[in-house]
Amino acid sequence: MWARVGLVGSVALGSVFWFQKNKTEASPYELKLIQVLFRHGARTPLKSIPDVLEAQWSPELLEAPAHTKIDYMVTDLEGGPRPPAPVEDSYRAKILTGGTYPGQLTTIGMQQLYDLGVRLRKKYIQEEPFLTPTFNPKEVYIRSTNIVRTIESAKCLVAGLFQQEQAGVVSILTDKAEKEVLYPNYHGCKLLKMLIGNRWAESSTLPDIAADLQNIQDDLGVDAQQRLDFILIRDDMVARETHGLPLPTVLEQWRSTIEQRAVDMIYHIYEPSKRQNLQMCVGPLLNMLVTNMEDKIQSSPSKQDRKLFLYSVHDTTLMPCLMALGVFDMKWPPYAADITLELYQHRQTNQHYVKVSYIDQDQKIPGCSNIYCPIDEFKAAMAVHSLPDDRYYALCESADDKRKL
């Protein structure tokens, strides 16, 4: 009996190996390029809820695990010195109770990004040998916002993806604050500030949101004069829960309302039905993603070896991107969430296709006939919100003309 079970088991196991070996051969699509936009990992809150039980954010929560360390440097987009970082400077002007700065990547957050790297390794190195197992700067391009938590998140992902094996120093590129397009840049783009600035304040005054906010402030005992909104409350609540730190018990009964109202606020702020809002939030980023694919299709000599683009960004990047893609699920993206775009070429027809996934789940983009979206259909779907850099910067400055009118 044992012999028979062993034989059946080995036959079954053999068929699994055969399936895995032939899985990529059987696919009519050949992978050509991967682009991953990912949110940073768990962090300290940007601001504590005022007047309530303080959490102790001690420096021990920020220690880097040995397996996340790599040899890396941060440069500007041309490989020169890292630009000034006014956003990071604004965090470091404050200290949270316990002694750490707001918005800092924690040990848990580092591990989350390492785990995302391991997931990508399994998919693109082990199951389908697409990437070289050792980091190769010709194959991999890494860009981050110029904020420590996203830079460190990129480093941790690369450590997980390549298991700390690298041929040379890992360069993480970043842009100066006024030109940044990896998040909605209210400070660098006057038109975006004009379009969306007042929607932030307005979002807390919408009748249903304002009523819930009043009730939660009363329950928490927070002074009515304190500036409080659901995005701030959610940020502190999720940060505490992720790190096992105490939460005011009154928030337990409000958890689902806080989640929903924070999303309601952000949806009102970005207002995807107003095309220009999303254009100015993520238009240049969408254009960058499409351009990377076009360069690959045209076999641009400088990009021939490039196989992977990594973009280390924020929840406020992913949400307008998901809205522009038409697949936002009305849920706040968790730490280390990723949007992945894969470019394929059909082995028989040589036609190109794009497949989009969000947190490892394939998405069918509105305007696409299939999950494997023909490149022309994908470009047409993106054209609604995509903006070339020169057009974006011209529109940013056009706010001055509109004010004069």
Same domain, 298 and 388: yes
Alpha carbons 324 and 286: distance in angstroms, whole number: 9
* Residue 43 lies in domain: 29-191+271-394
| DSSP for 218-257, written as a single string | HHHT--TTS---HHHHHHHHHHHHHTT----GGGGGGHHH
pLDDT tens-digit series, residues 77-110? 999 999 999 999 999 999 999 999 999 999 999 9
With beta carbons less than 8 A apart as the criterion, state whether 72 and 155 touch.
yes
- In the predicted model, is pLDDT for residue 117 greater than 90? yes
Same domain, 120 and 225: no
Q: How confident is the model at residue 301 (pLDDT cuts 50, 70, 90)?
A: confident
Phi and psi at 256, nearest 5°, equal: -65, -35
Question: For residue 123, how many other CB atoms are within 10 A of its CB?
Answer: 17
The domain boundary, picked from 270, 287, 319, lies at: 270
- In the predicted model, is pLDDT for residue 194 greater than 50? yes
β-strand pairing of 72-75 with 361-363? unpaired
pLDDT tens-digit series, residues 163-182? 999 988 999 999 999 999 99
User: Would you mind telling me the total number of residues written for the chain in this entry?
Assistant: 405
Given this model, what pLDDT does residue 11 score?
A: 45
The domain boundary, picked from 208, 239, 270, lies at: 270
| DSSP for 325-379, written as a single string | HT---SSPPPTT-EEEEEEEEETTT--EEEEEEETTEEEPPTT-SSSSEEHHHHH
Given this model, what pLDDT does residue 198 score?
A: 86
Q: Average pLDDT of 52-78?
A: 95
Given this model, what pLDDT does residue 322 score?
A: 98
pLDDT tens-digit series, residues 315-349? 999 999 999 999 999 999 999 999 999 999 999 99
**Of 199, 196, 174, residue with least CA distance to 185:** 196
CA separation (Å) from 147 to 77, 90, 91, 300?
15, 11, 10, 31
184: left (phi over 0), alpha (psi -120 to 50) or beta: beta
Given this model, what pLDDT does residue 12 score?
A: 45
Same domain, 319 and 171: yes
Catalytic residues: 40, 315
Q: How confident is the model at residue 48 (pLDDT cuts 50, 70, 90)?
A: confident
Same domain, 113 and 244: no
Same domain, 187 and 200: no
Same domain, 180 and 68: yes
Same domain, 369 and 225: no
pLDDT tens-digit series, residues 263-274? 999 999 999 999
- Please state the domain count of the chain: 2
Is this prediction's pTM over 0.95? no
User: What does the mean pLDDT of the chain come to?
Assistant: 91
123 or 304, greater pLDDT:
123
- In the predicted model, is pLDDT for residue 279 greater than 50? yes
Same domain, 36 and 168: yes
Same domain, 243 and 301: no
The domain boundary, picked from 246, 270, 294, lies at: 270
Instruction: Indicate which CATH number applies to the domain containing 111.
Output: 3.40.50.1240
Structural domain contains residue 326: yes
- In the predicted model, is pLDDT for residue 4 greater than 50? no
356: left (phi over 0), alpha (psi -120 to 50) or beta: beta
The CA-CA-CA angle for residues 110, 116, 122, to 5°, reads 140
Same domain, 155 and 45: yes
Structural domain contains residue 116: yes
pLDDT tens-digit series, residues 206-263? 999 999 999 999 999 888 778 889 999 999 999 999 999 999 888 989 999 999 999 9
Same domain, 165 and 76: yes
With beta carbons less than 8 A apart as the criterion, state whether 280 and 396 touch.
yes
Given this model, what pLDDT does residue 18 score?
A: 45
Structural domain contains residue 11: no
Structural domain contains residue 368: yes
- In the predicted model, is pLDDT for residue 10 greater than 70? no
Structural domain contains residue 222: yes
Structural domain contains residue 62: yes
Given this model, what pLDDT does residue 274 score?
A: 92
Given this model, what pLDDT does residue 401 score?
A: 57
Given this model, what pLDDT does residue 402 score?
A: 54
Q: Collapsing DSSP states into helix, strand and coil, what is residue 363? A: strand
Same domain, 376 and 234: no
Structural domain contains residue 180: yes
- In the predicted model, is pLDDT for residue 395 greater than 90? yes
